[in-house]
Amino acid sequence: MSKEENAIIARKLSKRFPRKVFPRLEYFDVLRDVSFSIKKGERVALIGSNGSGKTTLLKTMATIYLPDSGDLLINGYDVYKHAEKIASHTTLISPALDFQKKLTLRQTLRFFHSIQAPYGELDIALDFLKRMHMEYLLDKRLESFSEGQKAITRIAIGMMKNPDIFFLDEITTGLDVNRKEDLVDFLKENISSEQTIVMVDHDPLIVERICDSYILLSRGVVVKQGRAKDIGKELAYKYEVMVIMKDRPEFDEIVMLFPDQADDVLIDGHVVYFRAEDEDELYSIIERLRLNRETITKYVVSLVDLSNIYHALKPETINEIRTVEDEKGLPERTPTFDELQEIIRLFGIMIDTKSGVKIPPRKLP
């Protein structure tokens, strides 16, 4: 394949940040020997738990950060030599973009249009806002905007440039279901097959609908790449059901009510969590909930959140991650406090990282 067909080529890319470890200054690697290539027009999802390096990789590709070592070619241009050229043909849309609150939406668009000049067209942003039913806000100040409206404003600004490559960092976060649908439709209709997308999103359905492929990162290492529609195959479960009981339940009681789910239940006060591998299992849980409706206040079903993907992965995939991390000489994974809480919440188990022994605290203290 000729080089021209690749939008992005990364070879052994590394990025480190300083970290103060009193009284010294240490460095830690956020990206380690990251290699991949992305074809022109491809739509790629970066997935991986919080802190795995997704945003750092997006920012590096968008030339906001320079890599510390390795090669990175964007549209054939070397990031060390042609950062400006790359920046003019790419857009990073990120929730970190903040606004001058006293400006109206129209003034804000004009401001960003003027600083992007000569690239970008105001009309693209206006069309997008119309499509997202936000035209009526054009002369309102941003201080009155909801988080969802600000998120749409950021996307409108990013769209203006009509870039060759879009880097989209969690752009659907904070949007309600209808807005998400409108946005996905807009992206599918208005981004041409020549334009490339590299994106991060927590919602597996969004990823499935927009992306062709995925790159799985763990602690700054590329563990695996594959087709976006196969992400589900890496997951041990797809749904989580949170049930609020009227009375604080005992574990034995829950086992009696939900005999099929006894292995996968976590009780935390009034709240009971179940995990379901697929739709069939989900329906069987919901059926049981219906039968026991008088004992339940309410229940919420949610899809697995990709920002916690590490906890939802199948043991085989976790083993693959460990193998790749071992090859990179990464120290044994010791879960952070947040990760431990998440493990307890989702699995109802704790794993002693040294012995590998599973400790099942059926109830949280």
The site for ligand ADP, by CB under 6 A, has a size of: 10
Q: What is the DSSP letter of 12?
A: E
The CA distance from 164 to 342, in Å, is 38
Residue 56 binds which of ligand ADP, Mg ion, none (CB < 5-8 A, kind-dependent): ligand ADP
Phi and psi (nearest 5°) for 210? -95, -35
Residue carrying the six token digits 């879009």: 166
- Give the range of 55-63, 79-87, 108-116, 329-337 binding Mg ion by CB under 5 A: 55-63
Between 204 and 249, CB nearer to ligand ADP = 204
Range list of H helices, the chain: 54-61, 83-89, 105-116, 122-131, 147-159, 177-190, 204-210, 251-257, 279-291, 309-312, 315-327, 337-347
Token pair of 219 as six digits: 């602690």
Token pair of 170 as six digits: 């969690």
Q: 85, 130, 90: which is closest to 109 by C-alpha?
A: 130
Phi and psi (nearest 5°) for 293? -55, -30
> Using the rule CB under 6 A, is 148 a contact of ligand ADP?
no
> Using the rule CB under 6 A, is 17 a contact of ligand ADP?
yes
- Give the range of 52-60, 154-162, 244-252, 254-262 binding ligand ADP by CB under 6 A: 52-60
Q: 240, 359, 228, 245: which is closest to 304 by C-alpha?
A: 240
Q: How far is the CB of 30 from ligand ADP (least distance, A)?
A: 4
Considering only 49, 52, 55, 116, the residue that binds Mg ion (CB under 5 A) is 55
> Using the rule CB under 5 A, is 60 a contact of Mg ion?
no
Considering only 54, 161, 209, 311, the residue that binds ligand ADP (CB under 6 A) is 54
> Using the rule CB under 6 A, is 48 a contact of ligand ADP?
yes
Q: How far is the CB of 345 from ligand ADP (least distance, A)?
A: 19
> Using the rule CB under 6 A, is 50 a contact of ligand ADP?
yes
Between 96 and 205, CB nearer to Mg ion = 96
Considering only 32, 42, 52, 347, the residue that binds ligand ADP (CB under 6 A) is 52
Between 171 and 257, CB nearer to Mg ion = 171
Considering only 55, 60, 108, 196, the residue that binds ligand ADP (CB under 6 A) is 55
301-336 core/surface letters (b: 16 or more CB in 10 A; e: else): eeebebbbbbbbbeeebbebbeebbeeeebeeeeee
Q: How far is the CB of 198 from ligand ADP (least distance, A)?
A: 13
Between 44 and 285, CB nearer to ligand ADP = 44
> Using the rule CB under 6 A, is 53 a contact of ligand ADP?
yes
Q: Between the CA atoms of 220, 225, 229 and 230, what dihedral angle is there, to the nearest 10 degrees?
A: -100
Which residues are at the interface with Mg ion (CB under 5 A)? 54-55
Which residues are at the interface with ligand ADP (CB under 6 A)? 17, 30, 48, 50-56
